[in-house]
């Protein structure tokens, strides 16, 4: 929690005013029993109605003023808490955007979503409650005890004994339950992951009739979260009854001692009522404080989870810049190995090949052969665990990440469009693109018919994830988005899998005719999509088993020949 408090600096004055006005309200509340005692001892005893009326009016003024102070304090505390949470949310989102793929893989998308939403909302509530009650409640508790000593020290000893017992009980339960709340949030992460997977794969689940299995898994995880919450809830629920028992026992003892003191003429009846009122105030404030501490305990557990995300560092390796090596091709993979964090075996092993500027490289292999892993090394999404990747003779680890990725246009396996217009999605590639550049990119990506079919053209709204477009349309629009950048290196990671053969062929022809002649990497499982490439790299279980043209590989690479034969027997097509 301490690490996050620095983000409240911009709201210091507001955060200071909130507890300050609460203390003013608490001070007025401590005066109420004194006024009540005066009404009983002076007004009622002497039948002095004017005095009673004046004192009652004073109580109304105290109540109204206290209400004004309370409303002001709640306004300031809410403003500070919301502003603080907004700032932390911005910082978290920006930090997550700069984390490497390997860190994101380890943390998990579901966990990150939970921390930036549910956890942060809990922290916001905790800050709000702390500003309002963490000073007010102890102030009234100890203030009531001091006021009791000014009335009668013998009766006030009841306060001196009961208050430490109450604090011991409250903080004992809090310290015991705080780690449990952290485990509850961890279980909530798992539940969110299952829910997210089920919603994202709803069509697949129905296609394979796995609804019952998903319901069973969700029910199991949901019951686990429920059980954890019930367990910690039961322990937290002990606060109120235990507090009530201790306070009510103290009240019984207080009234008994007060009665003896009144009987002995040491204190008045009004003063006994005042003592009782102070004990009642302590009861109310400790209940508030207990609930506040429960909320703050949850907030601390959530704050620790948020701090854990902010503590994560981008683990991409950077090496000092060095003069570019001469005599090298444009892109060189020099004995490259790749092993994912916590992975069992290498995803890539001893990959060696080079690419000249303007060449087209096809990459093919079975599922899980390492095709995507290989192209992800070019924009330095992951670190190599062995060997080097060079661009223009410079190791990618020595290049500035942002400058490197500005040179690359990449289309991922999963075509992702964002909520907004088609134009806004295309401008991700180049925010300063002209209408002519957008049209050229759409034409090359074979996506002009998509725009023509829409009434609003480029201003057509795209739903989240591009749900209002077909798979082929999404792929063509994401390709267009990459082409708008006019990249020096173009990576198409199985990005035409939803296109028919004719559209795929037109797309490949248009890419070959692009101005500037970018170096193109085409990852595909279709031999027809890559057979005209300048070079074809064949991967099998992370190992390069073939490199050459289509004709060369048909002669000397058994894996490539098997892929080719299986596809043409299956599709009945000719290349």
Domains: count for the chain: 2
Segment 158-170 shows an average pLDDT of 80
306 and 423 belong to one structural domain = no
Residue 352: the pLDDT is: 93
The rounded distance, in Å, linking the Cα atoms of 90 and 443 is: 38
185 and 61 belong to one structural domain = yes
Max Cα distance, the chain (Å): 118
> Tens of pLDDT along 343-364?
778 899 999 999 999 999 999 9
Structure-block tokens of residue 434:
């002209």
Please indicate whether residue 184 or residue 551 has the higher confidence score (pLDDT). 551
146-150, 509-513, 524-528, 558-562: segment of lowest average pLDDT = 146-150
Which residue, of 279, 311, 343, is where some domain finishes?
311
Strand 360-365 relative to strand 535-540, pairing: parallel
Enter the DSSP assignment of 428.
Answer: T
Which residue, of 486, 501, 536, is where some domain finishes?
486
Residue 378 lies in a domain: no
> Tens of pLDDT along 248-286?
888 888 888 888 878 777 778 888 888 888 878 877 787
Residue 98: the pLDDT is: 84
Q: What is the DSSP string of 320-386?
A: ---PPPTT--SEEEEEEEE--TT-SS-SEEEEEEEE-TT-EEEEEESTTSSHHHHHTTTTTSS--SE
pLDDT at 574 over 50: no
137 and 278 belong to one structural domain = yes
Residue 561 lies in a domain: no
Residue 569: the pLDDT is: 65
Residue 572: the pLDDT is: 47
Q: In this structure, what CATH number is given to the domain that contains residue 446?
A: 3.40.50.300
278 and 425 belong to one structural domain = no
Structure-block tokens of residue 344:
């069992």
**Do 498 and 461 touch, CB atoms closer than 8 A?**
no
Q: What pTM was estimated for this model as a whole?
A: 0.71
307 and 420 belong to one structural domain = no
292 and 421 belong to one structural domain = no
Which residue, of 311, 337, 365, is where some domain finishes?
311
CB atoms within 10 A of CB 16: 13
Reduced to 3 states (helix: H, G, I; strand: E, B; else coil), residue 520 is strand
426 and 299 belong to one structural domain = no
Q: In this structure, what CATH number is given to the domain that contains residue 73?
A: 1.20.1560.10
> Taking Cα atoms as reference points, which of 375, 483, 390, 490 lies closest to residue 439?
483
Please indicate whether residue 499 or residue 342 has the higher confidence score (pLDDT). 499
Residue 384 lies in a domain: no
> Taking Cα atoms as reference points, which of 136, 141, 143 lies closest to residue 22?
136
180 and 301 belong to one structural domain = yes
Torsion of CA 383, 387, 393, 396, to 10 degrees: 0
224 and 107 belong to one structural domain = yes
Residue 289 lies in a domain: yes
77 and 217 belong to one structural domain = yes
Mean pLDDT of all residues in the chain?
86
> Tens of pLDDT along 507-538?
888 988 888 789 999 998 888 888 889 999 99
272 and 143 belong to one structural domain = yes
Residue 206: the pLDDT is: 87
Segment 166-182 shows an average pLDDT of 77
How many Å from the N-terminal Cα to the C-terminal Cα in the chain? 63
Residue 543 lies in a domain: no
Residue 243 lies in a domain: yes
Residue 510 lies in a domain: no
CB atoms within 10 A of CB 307: 14
What is the sign, positive or negative, of the torsion defined by CA atoms of 572, 527, 497, 516?
negative
Show the domain range for 11: 2-311
> Tens of pLDDT along 49-101?
888 899 899 989 999 998 999 999 999 999 999 999 999 999 999 998 888 88
> Tens of pLDDT along 205-233?
888 888 898 899 889 888 888 888 888 88
141 and 274 belong to one structural domain = yes
> Tens of pLDDT along 306-355?
888 888 888 788 888 777 788 888 999 999 999 888 777 889 999 999 99
Residue 249 lies in a domain: yes
Segment 97-122 shows an average pLDDT of 84
**C-beta pairs of 347-352 under 8 Å, 24+ apart in sequence:** 347/373, 347/542, 348/373, 348/374, 348/377, 348/542, 349/542, 349/543, 350/386, 350/387, 350/543, 350/544, 351/387, 351/544, 352/544
């Amino acid at each position: 929690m301490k690490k996050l408090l620095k983000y409240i600096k911009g709201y210091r004055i507001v955060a200071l005013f909130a507890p300050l006005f609460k203390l003013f309200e608490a001070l007025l509340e401590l005066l109420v029993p004194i006024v009540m005692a005066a009404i009983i001892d002076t007004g009622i005893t002497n039948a002095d109605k004017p005095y009673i009326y004046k004192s009652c009016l004073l109580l109304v003024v105290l109540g109204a003023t206290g209400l004004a102070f309370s409303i002001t304090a709640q306004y300031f505390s809410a403003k500070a808490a919301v502003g603080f949470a907004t700032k932390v949310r911005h910082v978290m989102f920006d930090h997550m955007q700069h984390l490497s793929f390997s860190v994101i893989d380890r943390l998990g998308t579901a966990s990150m979503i939970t921390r930036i939403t549910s956890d942060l909302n809990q922290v916001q509530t905790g800050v709000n409650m702390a500003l309002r009650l963490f000073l007010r409640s102890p102030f009234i508790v100890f203030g009531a005890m001091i006021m009791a000593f000014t009335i009668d020290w013998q009766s006030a000893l009841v306060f001196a004994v009961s208050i430490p017992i109450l604090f011991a009980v409250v903080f004992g339960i809090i310290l015991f339950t705080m780690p449990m709340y952290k485990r509850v949030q961890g279980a909530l992460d798992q539940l969110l992951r299952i829910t997210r997977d089920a919603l994202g794969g709803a069509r697949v689940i129905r296609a394979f009739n796995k609804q019952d299995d998903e319901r069973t898994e969700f029910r199991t995880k949901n019951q686990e979260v429920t059980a954890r919450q019930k367990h910690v809830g039961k322990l937290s629920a002990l606060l109120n009854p235990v507090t009530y028992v201790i306070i009510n026992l103290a009240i019984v003892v207080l009234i008994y001692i007060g009665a003896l003191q009144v009987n002995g003429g040491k204190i008045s009846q009004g003063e006994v009522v005042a003592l009782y009122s102070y004990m009642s105030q302590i009861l109310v404030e400790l209940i508030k404080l207990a609930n506040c501490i429960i909320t703050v305990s949850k907030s601390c557990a959530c704050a620790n989870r948020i701090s854990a995300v902010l503590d994560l560092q981008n683990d991409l390796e950077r090496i000092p810049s060095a003069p570019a090596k001469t005599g090298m091709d444009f892109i060189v993979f020099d004995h490259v190995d790749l092993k994912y964090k916590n992975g069992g075996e290498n995803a890539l092993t001893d990959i060696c090949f080079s690419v000249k500027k303007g060449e087209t490289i096809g990459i093919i292999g079975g599922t899980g052969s390492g095709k995507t892993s290989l192209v992800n090394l070019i924009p330095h999404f992951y670190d190599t665990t062995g060997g080097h990747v060079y661009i223009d003779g410079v190791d990618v680890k020595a290049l500035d990440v942002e400058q490197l990725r500005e040179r690359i246009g990449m289309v991922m396996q999963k075509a992702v469009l964002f909520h907004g217009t088609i134009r806004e999605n295309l401008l991700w590639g180049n925010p300063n693109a002209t209408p002519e550049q957008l049209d050229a990119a759409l034409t090359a990506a074979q996506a002009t018919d998509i725009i023509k079919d829409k009434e609003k053209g480029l201003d057509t709204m795209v739903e989240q994830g591009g749900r209002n477009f077909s798979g082929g349309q999404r792929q063509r629009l994401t390709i267009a988005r990459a082409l708008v950048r006019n990249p020096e290196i173009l990576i198409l990671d199985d990005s035409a899998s939803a296109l028919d053969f004719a559209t795929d062929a037109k797309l490949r022809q248009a890419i070959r005719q692009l101005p500037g002649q970018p170096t193109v990497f085409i990852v595909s499982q279709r031999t027809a999509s890559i057979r005209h490439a300048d070079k074809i790299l064949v991967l099998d279980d992370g190992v390069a088993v073939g490199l050459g043209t289509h004709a060369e590989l048909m002669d000397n690479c058994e894996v490539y020949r098997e892929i080719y034969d299986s596809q043409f027997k299956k599709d009945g097509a000719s290349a």
